[in-house]
Chains A and B, each alone.
Chain A
Amino acid sequence: MDFLFNLVNGLSLGSIYAIIALGYTMVYGIAKMLNFAHGDVIMVGAYISFCAFQYWGLPPLPSVLAAMIFCTVLGVFIERLAYRPLRSATSLAVLITAIGMSYLLQNVALLIFKSDPKNYPGQIIDLPGLSLFGGQLKISGVTLLTIIANIVIMILLTLFINRTKLGKAMRCVSEDRGAAELMGISVNRTISVTFAIGSALAAIAGVLLCSAYPIFDPYTGSMPGIKAFTAAVFGGIGSIPGAMVGGLLLGVIEILGRAYISTQLADAIVFAVLIIVLLVKPSGLLGKQVREKV
């Protein structure tokens, strides 16, 4: 029973990592850049939904929608202001800009919301949980919703990328930006859309993260962001099912490691597994092996 309890908690944590990782992997796959500000967009999403619910008196669903809309606009805005001017710069410059953007978001949030932790209202996601084995194993509504949302989002994203025109444009941009532009695809618009989707996902991740682990502050997004980035690399960065698998595995390994090996070594175990996977399969679990042309 303990094992099942830990497994469910691992899946719950992993699903949140997976949703965040989806944002990382999409932006990386298409724009070929690591958006380190992604974790902080999650934090913004959490704050906006918190304010919408607590201060502006919106009902739960519109609060979440408000967060999604705000984050979408924010994501596109960040891309426009900070990343687009660097489109032809070295990837290192873009990376540093992304880290800078991450700090900017954290500090602006600090300025506005102050640093005292807040407690995320449980009413935003108020779903009945499951009680299994005569009440011995309880799965909270948030956990169930996170796992389901994760699967739905993954399927929708895969369909979007494989079946729609915009998705096709994204794949083209991902494969060869120059050629895509020659074929009449607007690279800038495609990347903007990618950021819009990624940031809307970040808002959802923020709501789910804070519903499951309710204490949050302006630094809340950074650690899950890094873990999710690890998950994306683990699963094969650029691959959507990879992000999902990577996220879930990371969560489960973290919780089981903590439960059965050592609470002190949980993070070390996670990263040790990552190193082993990358040694054996450098492109990640589901990543594509791309041969460099010389």
Chain B
Amino acid sequence: MSKKTHNIIVRVALLLVLVLVACLISSCGQKKEEPAATEAPKAEDVITLKIAHIGPLTGPAAVYGNATSNGGQIAADEINAAGGKYRIEYKTYDDTHDAEIALNCYNKAMDDGAQMIVGTTTTSPCIAVSAQAAKDRTFMLTPSASSTEVTKDKDNMYQICFTDPAQGTASAEYIAQNGLPTKVAVIYNNADAYSTGIYQTFVDKAKELNLEVVSETTFQDNTKDFTVQVNDAKAAGAELVFLPIYYGPASMILQTAAQIDYKPVWFGVDGMDGILDIEGFDKSLAEGVLLLTPFSADAKDEKTQNFVATYQKNYNAIPNQFAADAYDAVYALVAAAEKAGITSDMKAADCCDKLIAAMQEIKVEGVTGTMSWSANGEVTKTPTAVVIKDGKYVGFNN
């Protein structure tokens, strides 16, 4: 090996070390936000619940994971500050929206002694983790993973959000009942279980309600060009476009439509939440976009207003539906734990069956509505819609 090559190898090594150090520093930075693990005094009558939250703090779905992390944290802080019977240790594990990493996070959380899990935030990781958790007997309550695959054949898995089929059905009903245009186009991501799931039930329900679906087009992750899909909807004369997709592609679709002067009513579901947070996005393009959500940050009830105020103070942003779902998830878990008589020293497997029984009995009034749960883990609550007005979410028809 020549001296020169040797030098270069040394330089490469140095570079790698630098990158590693950078990674370490940044992960340290994240850890600081987590609460100190030993803040609860171990008094006899105080019960500490160890709740692990798994969600993507980085990666393509980070907007959702950060929202659920923050929302849950607020609930935990409130419960700890109130000084009641329960103390919450709430710790977030970053799964980067990857099923394999999510499993590692789950194992890590179990090693850390977690008793129950809020999560995971996104659907595909949740399917993977819930399967493992069902085997291990660990109770999970996801704020936002909405596929039926998440709860299917797993008695330990509960949802705060609507399931995908429920979102599709509810969207079609909402459109039919609120005087919205009935000539409808759908653009969905056929590489995504979430998107196809909602699409399927939406189309079935639309047929039943005499909505005319005039254009159905698809795209895949990484699709850059949406001209064909948008043009198809335009050419078919659709007056409302249903977008059961995430906000990234949705914002591309809005921009493509603006280029060809196409102005239908846009109707999205929970994945659309986040569109206003894209840096540099021209919010006027999202003006009038409707989205089906159980949470509206401008609702007048005291609970919502307190939550929104705290969220704004702590994170300098208006909470979206995901944050609200996670906030409710922590409260729901505490309610279930109370009903089930969970104590600090119980292991995850000891809590599981007790929590399952308790979940079906409790009724929780949260910021996303009054919730109760059926034995298959699905939630019952009323859907509402919000509309984007002047760059903000405003309640629609209320």
CB distance from A114 to the nearest CB of B (A): 7
Residues in chain B near residue A5, CB distance under 8 A? 227, 231
Residue A116 is within 8 A (CB to CB) of chain B in the complex = yes
* Distance in angstroms between the alpha carbons of A85 and B5 in the assembled complex: 6
Residues in chain B near residue A104, CB distance under 8 A? 19
CB distance from A3 to the nearest CB of B (A): 11
Interface pair A213/B279, CB less than 8 Å apart: no
* Distance in angstroms between the alpha carbons of A212 and B218 in the assembled complex: 20
Given A9-B228, A258-B228, verify A116-B280 contact (CB < 8 Å). Answer: no
Max count, chain B CB within 10 A of own CB: residue among A9, A258, A259: A258
Interface pair B277/A116, CB less than 8 Å apart: yes
Residue A91 is within 8 A (CB to CB) of chain B in the complex = no
Interface pair A118/B9, CB less than 8 Å apart: no
CB distance from A254 to the nearest CB of B (A): 8
Interface pair A82/B12, CB less than 8 Å apart: yes
* Contact residues, B54-90 vs A (CB, 8 A): 58-63
Give B259-291 as 1s and 0s: 1 = Cβ < 8 Å from A's Cβ atoms.
110000000000000000111111000000000
* Distance in angstroms between the alpha carbons of A107 and B224 in the assembled complex: 21
* Distance in angstroms between the alpha carbons of A259 and B255 in the assembled complex: 19
- Of B8, B224, B229, B278, which is within 8 A of A116 by CB? B278
Interface pair A138/B260, CB less than 8 Å apart: yes
* Distance in angstroms between the alpha carbons of A224 and B248 in the assembled complex: 17
CB distance from A130 to the nearest CB of B (A): 13
A65-73, A153-161, A215-223 - the one binding chain B: A215-223
Q: Is the interface of A mostly helix, strand, loop or mixed?
A: helix
CB distance from A257 to the nearest CB of B (A): 9
Residue A282 is within 8 A (CB to CB) of chain B in the complex = no
- Of A118, A224, A263, which is within 8 A of B228 by CB? A263
- Of A80, A119, A223, which is within 8 A of B222 by CB? A223
Interface pair B12/A6, CB less than 8 Å apart: no
CB distance from B309 to the nearest CB of A (A): 24
Given A115-B60, A213-B225, A263-B218, verify A120-B231 contact (CB < 8 Å). Answer: no
* Distance in angstroms between the alpha carbons of A110 and B217 in the assembled complex: 31
Interface pair A85/B8, CB less than 8 Å apart: yes
Give B225-242 as 1s and 0s: 1 = Cβ < 8 Å from A's Cβ atoms.
101110110010000000
Q: Residue of B at shortest CB range from A110?
A: B58
* Distance in angstroms between the alpha carbons of A115 and B26 in the assembled complex: 14
Residue A140 is within 8 A (CB to CB) of chain B in the complex = yes
Residues in chain A near residue B255, CB distance under 8 A? 214
Interface pair B224/A81, CB less than 8 Å apart: no
Residue A2 is within 8 A (CB to CB) of chain B in the complex = yes
Residue B11 is within 8 A (CB to CB) of chain A in the complex = yes
* Distance in angstroms between the alpha carbons of A9 and B59 in the assembled complex: 30
Residues in chain B near residue A114, CB distance under 8 A? 58, 62
Residue B375 is within 8 A (CB to CB) of chain A in the complex = no
- Of B26, B219, B224, B279, which is within 8 A of A13 by CB? B224
* Distance in angstroms between the alpha carbons of A138 and B9 in the assembled complex: 53
Interface pair B251/A215, CB less than 8 Å apart: yes
Interface pair A118/B19, CB less than 8 Å apart: no
* Distance in angstroms between the alpha carbons of A264 and B218 in the assembled complex: 6
Give B202-226 as 1s and 0s: 1 = Cβ < 8 Å from A's Cβ atoms.
0000000000000001111010110
Residue B22 is within 8 A (CB to CB) of chain A in the complex = yes
* Contact residues, A74-93 vs B (CB, 8 A): 80-82, 84-85
Interface pair A215/B248, CB less than 8 Å apart: yes
CB distance from B333 to the nearest CB of A (A): 28
CB distance from B241 to the nearest CB of A (A): 14
* Distance in angstroms between the alpha carbons of A84 and B7 in the assembled complex: 12
Residue A275 is within 8 A (CB to CB) of chain B in the complex = no
* Distance in angstroms between the alpha carbons of A215 and B278 in the assembled complex: 9
Interface pair A115/B235, CB less than 8 Å apart: no
Interface pair B278/A263, CB less than 8 Å apart: no
Interface pair A84/B252, CB less than 8 Å apart: no
Give A50-61 as 1s and 0s: 1 = Cβ < 8 Å from B's Cβ atoms.
100010000000
Q: Residue of B at shortest CB range from A97?
A: B12
Residue B15 is within 8 A (CB to CB) of chain A in the complex = yes
Residue B190 is within 8 A (CB to CB) of chain A in the complex = yes
Residues in chain B near residue A119, CB distance under 8 A? 251, 278-282
Residue B23 is within 8 A (CB to CB) of chain A in the complex = yes
Give B1-35 as 1s and 0s: 1 = Cβ < 8 Å from A's Cβ atoms.
00001001101100100010011001000000000
Residues in chain A near residue B259, CB distance under 8 A? 138, 140
Given A111-B22, A259-B228, verify A219-B252 contact (CB < 8 Å). Answer: no
CB distance from A265 to the nearest CB of B (A): 9
Interface pair A118/B11, CB less than 8 Å apart: no
* Distance in angstroms between the alpha carbons of A223 and B222 in the assembled complex: 6
* Distance in angstroms between the alpha carbons of A267 and B222 in the assembled complex: 11
Q: Residue of A at shortest CB range from B6?
A: A85
Interface pair A81/B278, CB less than 8 Å apart: no
Residues in chain B near residue A140, CB distance under 8 A? 259
Residue A167 is within 8 A (CB to CB) of chain B in the complex = no
Residue A178 is within 8 A (CB to CB) of chain B in the complex = no
Max count, chain A CB within 10 A of own CB: residue among B15, B224, B255: B224
* Contact residues, A246-262 vs B (CB, 8 A): 254-255, 258-259
* Distance in angstroms between the alpha carbons of A209 and B255 in the assembled complex: 15
Interface pair B224/A255, CB less than 8 Å apart: no
CB distance from B239 to the nearest CB of A (A): 20
29 pairs of residues in contact across A and B, judged by CB atoms under 8 Å: A5-B227, A9-B225, A80-B8, A81-B8, A81-B15, A85-B5, A85-B9, A104-B19, A111-B23, A111-B26, A115-B59, A115-B60, A115-B61, A115-B62, A116-B62, A119-B280, A119-B281, A119-B282, A212-B224, A213-B225, A219-B60, A219-B222, A222-B222, A259-B228, A259-B232, A263-B217, A263-B228, A263-B232, A267-B220
Other CB < 8 Å A-B pairs besides A114-B58, A118-B279, A222-B222, 4 of them? Answer: A138-B259, A224-B224, A259-B231, A263-B217
Interface residues of B (CB under 8 A from A): 5, 8-9, 11-12, 15, 19, 22-23, 26, 58-63, 190, 217-220, 222, 224-225, 227-229, 231-232, 235, 248-249, 251-252, 255, 259-260, 277-282
List 8 tightest A-B contacts by C-beta distance, closest first: A119-B280, A223-B222, A119-B281, A213-B224, A115-B62, A9-B227, A263-B217, A263-B218
